[in-house]
Structure 1
């Protein structure tokens, strides 16, 4: 079975995607204190359209976080024919996408605003980001890890623990440094290098030295 593309891309029109990009741009500029009026002006659409498409402000923020998180993917793969090369490629693609997203100005702005809201006890952005960001991304990668285990390529007892290990190897201290204002700059080449290195480290920790051939696994 080939894993499908993220349904988020299929449910949003190009016009709606442009609106969400406008929200992200405003959050970078204004630190998250955006209004439906400001979004309507930036996106050149009516407030009525915003309410029709996304509901209230929380609905708009939810869609924005999901849109940002949808950029993190492991790529398509055939679960019934997964081999070591395909697994490494899927993990590296996911790591590259995720590292690129969390180091972007838009992601930094979203996280800073969510942290500020959580500290004051106001707003729902933190919960929105957990549900549609971190947890949704985890749900996207865990099937890859489970498929790798089923294929005898990697071994672990708990998928969540394996996922956290991989994320830790990929992200290291990058996100916290950026959130605290470090001028760390990651070029596309840096991101690709770090993603490949994290994948190799993860496979060194969880990979099986002599994975079972598919024919033996079938007959086992």
Structure 2
């Protein structure tokens, strides 16, 4: 099997605001179609569901892969992290990210899409793998860049930022997403997710605490 592509950069065909109504419709259309159809989401189907032309989609996003990456990034709690981590904002920012990420994973549409993609993986291994790399890779890469800024500012100890991002994501999610996928009891209450998010973030910050300065 050929190597999987790296996540596509988001094509800045036009400046898009988060409250762009058309962009919101496109994102909602893509998420709904993935939950219903899995990997085989065409630009024609997205255009029809969003109420626009396929030409408009290509003009705004450049390609299907870039569109999927943009939708993935747009739906991530990562977008709400401050541009530059500081000592006062480091823990609150990571805590908000963790809670929002867990809330996203708890949505029925997210669980439904994950189950469908898992079911399609054996029949369409390349397509499912590419979709995973595009979405999970985008999340890990963006989080790694943010953590790297924190490391450079001395807020976290210097280490591989991509490994740190993967570790943090694993700590945040734990086993709960697998519990949901397998219909097992999980942290369905927001208070339970908030408590776990706090535990995961504080554990991560202790593990990556910068070394104490020498006296």
Q: TM-score, normalised on structure 1? A: 0.70
Which of 11, 15, 23 in structure 2 is aligned with 1:16? 23
CA contact (8 A) 2:81 2:97 kept: yes
Structure-2 separation of matches of 1:180 and 1:142: 29
Structure having the larger proportion of residues in helix: 1
Cα 1:90–1:53, aligned 2, differ >3 Å: closer, same or farther?
A: same
For these two proteins, the number of residue pairs brought into alignment is 202
For structure 2, the 5+ residue unaligned runs are: 1-9
Give unpaired runs (5+ residues) of structure 1.
Answer: 1-5, 213-220
Contact map agreement 1:61 1:125 (CA 8 A) in 2: no
Q: Could you list the per-position Cα deviations for residues 136-177 of structure 1 after superposition, in whole angstroms to 9, with x for gaps in the alignment?
A: 112222233223323333224322222222112111001222
Q: 1:50 to 1:194 in 2, by over 3 A?
A: same
More displaced stretch, 47-56 vs 192-201: 47-56
Q: Would you say the 8 A contact 2:84–2:149 is kept in 1?
A: no
Q: Is the Cα–Cα contact under 8 Å of residues 170 and 194 in structure 1 kept in the other structure? A: yes
Structure 2 Cα separation of the partners of residues 162 and 60 of structure 1 = 27
Work out whether 1:117 is the aligned partner of 2:120.
yes
Structure possessing the higher radius of gyration over alpha carbons? 1
In the alignment, what sits opposite 1:210? 212
* Alignment partners' CA distance in 2, 1:43 and 1:36: 10
Q: Which runs of 4+ in 1 moved over 6 A?
A: 6-9
Q: Secondary structure at the residue paired with 2:79?
A: coil
Q: Does the CA contact (< 8 Å) of 1:77 and 1:86 recur in 2?
A: no
CA drift of 1:31 comes to 4.9
Give the RMSD, CA atoms, in angstroms.
3.5
Q: Show the counterpart of 2:5.
A: none
> What are the superposed Cα offsets for residues 63-85 of structure 1, whole Å, 9 maximum, x if unpaired?
4434334x433521445xx22x3
Whether 1:135 and 2:132 are equivalent positions in the alignment is no
Partner in structure 2 of residue 88 of structure 1 = 91
